[in-house]
């Protein structure tokens, strides 16, 4: 799983990353993090948003206490599919499982500002993300 992620991120070799994730998941079909990362590769590779959604849903089914697939699903629903209400539900679930994750907090802040037009909530969330990690670049830049 780590090597597949490395290929996708560092070498932009999404085809090889996809093949490795398929292999990993054939060996361990209950590896939730691999489903998350496979979904990210599919999203980067294709203009088909249903396949990544299925990966994130499968990861949630396998490990419902893992905040990552909820966060990834929220981003996809929000930014690619425009399903902002469903995205908010997933952001909130991810935050309930990992309330101090600056990435999730910052992404939810962006959602509040860009899609809900609520600058007050967005600013409070950005400040919260920076309290969790004062050097969190995403919170500083958005």
List, for residues 23-36, the tens digit of each pLDDT value: 999 999 999 999 99
Domain ranges of the chain: 1-98, 99-141
H, E, C per residue of 118-138: CHHHHHHHHHHHHHHCCCCHH
Tens of pLDDT, residue by residue over 66-88, are 999 999 999 999 989 999 999 99
Residue 10 has pLDDT above 70, yes or no: no
| Segment 40-57, tens digit of pLDDT | 999 988 778 999 999 999
Predicted structure pTM score: 0.86
CA angle 56, 104, 66 (to 5 degrees): 45
Give the model's pLDDT for residue 36. 95
CATH superfamily membership of 1-98: Tetratricopeptide repeat domain (1.25.40.10)
- 1 — pLDDT class (breaks 50, 70, 90): very low
């Amino acid at each position: 799983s780590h090597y597949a992620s490395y290929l996708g991120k560092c070498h932009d070799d999404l085809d090889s990353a996809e093949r490795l994730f398929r292999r990993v998941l054939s060996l361990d079909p209950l590896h939730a993090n691999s489903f998350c990362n496979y979904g990210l590769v599919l999203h980067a590779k294709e203009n088909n948003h249903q396949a990544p959604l299925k990966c994130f849903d499968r990861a949630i089914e396998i490990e419902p206490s893992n905040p990552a697939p909820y966060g990834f699903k929220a981003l996809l629903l929000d930014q690619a599919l425009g399903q902002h209400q469903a995205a908010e539900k997933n952001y909130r679930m991810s935050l309930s499982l990992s309330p101090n994750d600056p990435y999730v907090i910052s992404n939810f802040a962006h959602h509040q500002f860009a899609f809900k037009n609520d600058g007050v909530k967005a600013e409070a969330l950005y400040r919260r993300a920076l309290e969790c990690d004062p050097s969190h670049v995403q919170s500083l830049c958005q």
